[in-house]
Amino acid sequence: MNALRSWLFRLVFYAGSVPIVLVVPIVALFGQRAMVPYAHVWSYYHRWAAATFLGVRTRFEGVLPEGPVLYAAKHEAMYETVELQPLLRGPAVVLKRELWNIPFWGWATRVYGGIPVDRDASAAALRQLVHDAKVAREARRSVVVYPEGTRVPHGERPPLRSGFAGLYKALGYPVVPIALDSGRLGLRRGTVTPGEVTIRLGEPIPPGLPRREIEARVHAAINALNAG
């Protein structure tokens, strides 16, 4: 039964996403103020499809901060990349550069205010990341980053990527860690088990801390729900 539910979700979600994506070039003509709420329409569609066909819902814990912050989130499935955007009121998001090459999607990401990052973590790539982060800071916009760098199975705790410390320093924002457990339900791949995904905001961590301290605190906080 779960396999059938998972197949139906993919069919409905991706088929329904096609017309949403095709309208993106029109929405993009009106700039970021139009693109952000339009992208959230897609997020709400994803939420409906996940609840209806997968039996997966979100429990959100914590209080959203008033001013701009750097959100550092665990990454276990595509689920949170879609779900977090409206929950966090449309922050700029750090995404791997490969996604920017997808037709329509890449353009939408640029208009939305995404921040591309290269996997190679070269000096030039890190400089570009810092530059783009400062653009978001000038706009007084929060930023969300997945500091472990990629999706990981539930229960794994890879080290933080080097770009996180540079981003933290460049923005000068408090960090709000986000723990979650989407991988526990099999949302990373394959058959999904119905259940509840917890997304938990941790206590803000102040700016200006030494690299070793901020990385240790963030790493512990985003893995708070990562038991087994």
3-state SS of the chain is CHHHHHHHHHHHHHHHHHHHHHCHHHHHCCCHHHHHHHHHHHHHHHHHHHHHHHCEEEEEECCCCCCCCEEEECCCCHHHHHHHHHHCCCCEEEEEHHHHHCCCHHHHHHHHCCEEECCCCCHHHHHHHHHHHHHHHHCCCCEEECCCCCCCCCCCCCCCCCHHHHHHHHHCCCEEEEEECHHHHCCCCCCCCCEEEEEEECCCECCCCCHHHHHHHHHHHHCCCCCC
What was the pLDDT predicted at 202?
Answer: 96
Tens of pLDDT, residue by residue over 62-107, are: 999 999 999 999 999 999 999 999 999 999 999 887 777 777 777 7
Residue 221 confidence (pLDDT) above 90: yes
pLDDT of residue 120: 63
| pLDDT number for residue 115 | 85
pLDDT on residue 117: 81
Is pLDDT above 60 for 228?
A: no
Q: What's the pLDDT score for residue 122? A: 66
Please determine, for residue 125, whether its predicted confidence score (pLDDT) is greater than 80.
no
pLDDT in tens, 150-177: 899 999 999 998 889 989 998 999 999 9
